[in-house]
Every structure is written in structure tokens, then in C-alpha cells.
Amino acid sequence: MKQRAILAAFESFLRQRSLRLTPQRRSVFDRVFETHEHFSAETLFGWLREGDGPKVSRATVYRTLALLQEGGFIESLDAGRGELVYEHVLGHRHHDHIVCLGCGKIEEFHDERIEELQLEACERKGYELVNHTLVLNGYCRACQRKTPAERAAGERANPS
């Protein structure tokens, strides 16, 4: 889905709530859809402070992220860092995540077998699956090579 179409959908979503697309909300929207990284609200706030656009308050960042999430434009992920991370999802295929407990690295993956097993589990229990989030936690190759003391120091630097 093109960013222009996503912006039009976001504007429509805001109008339905008697809100408007202010320059600050537009700045948040643009920065969110410029990145393909997972980012926290604080990271986004830092990016916007460094940018040339209008001044955006921390509160506006958090409120706009909440609106984008409510509208299904972005999703959040608890990666065990003590804060949610976000990614834009419109126009992207569903995927799951693997999070390194050592360094905080996030890998995306899709496995059709896992998707089928989840559907079967829902059907067995009499549920209709609407949405799901799967997060696997472990250690990436680089963190696996570290000693237990080095891992513990890395985990303290990337708190869960």
C-alpha cells in the first residue's frame, strides 16, 4: 500500500474521531512510515527532535502512536526491553518475531506450518482466529558465543 493512500486512510480515521491531521501528527506519521526498523516511542521522539519539521511534544508522539495503533496502521511488540516497540504493518505480510535476550536484536519470520498449527488449535477449541502475535525469545548467534557473565552484562544493558 502506498504511503499516500495510507495517509488518506489515516486522515479519514482521524475525521471519524473529530480530529484533524495537524502538522505535528503528520510529522509523526511521516517518520513512522519512513523507517523499516522496530522503534520505541522514545526513539521516535528523538528522531523527531533531531529533524527539521515542527516541534512535536512527547505527549503528541505517544497519543499519535496510540491512534495509529487503534486504526491498525501500526502494531506494537513487547520485546522485553521495558518499553513497547512499533512497526508499520499496512501493506506488509503478517510475520512473527524472534527477540534476542542478550542484545535485543529483533528478527522477523513467517512459517506457514506455524500458521496452520495455530488455526488448527483455534478450531479444536471452537475459536475463530482474528489475530495473533508470536514472539520467540532466545539468544542470537553472537550472544550464544558470549560467556555467561558477558550475557548477564548485556541483559542488564537491555533490560527485560
Distance CA 3, CA 133 (A): 24
Neighbours of 79 (CB within 10 A): 22
* pTM, two decimal places: 0.80
141 has pLDDT over 50: yes
The predicted pLDDT at position 78 comes to 87
Phi and psi at 100, nearest 5°, equal -80, 125
* pLDDT bucket at 160, cuts 50 / 70 / 90: very low
Distance CA 57, CA 49 (A): 9
| Mean pLDDT, the chain, whole residue set | 90
> Average pLDDT, stretch 144-159?
75
Domains defined along the chain, listed by start: 1-92 (1.10.10.10), 94-160 (3.30.1490.190)
> Average pLDDT, stretch 142-150?
86
Distance CA 88, CA 65 (A): 10
> Average pLDDT, stretch 44-73?
95
* pLDDT bucket at 123, cuts 50 / 70 / 90: very high
Nearest to 105 by CA among 97, 95, 115, 93: 97
The predicted pLDDT at position 38 comes to 93
Cell of 41: 516511542
For residue 29, how many C-alpha atoms fall within 13 Å in the half-sphere facing its CB? 23
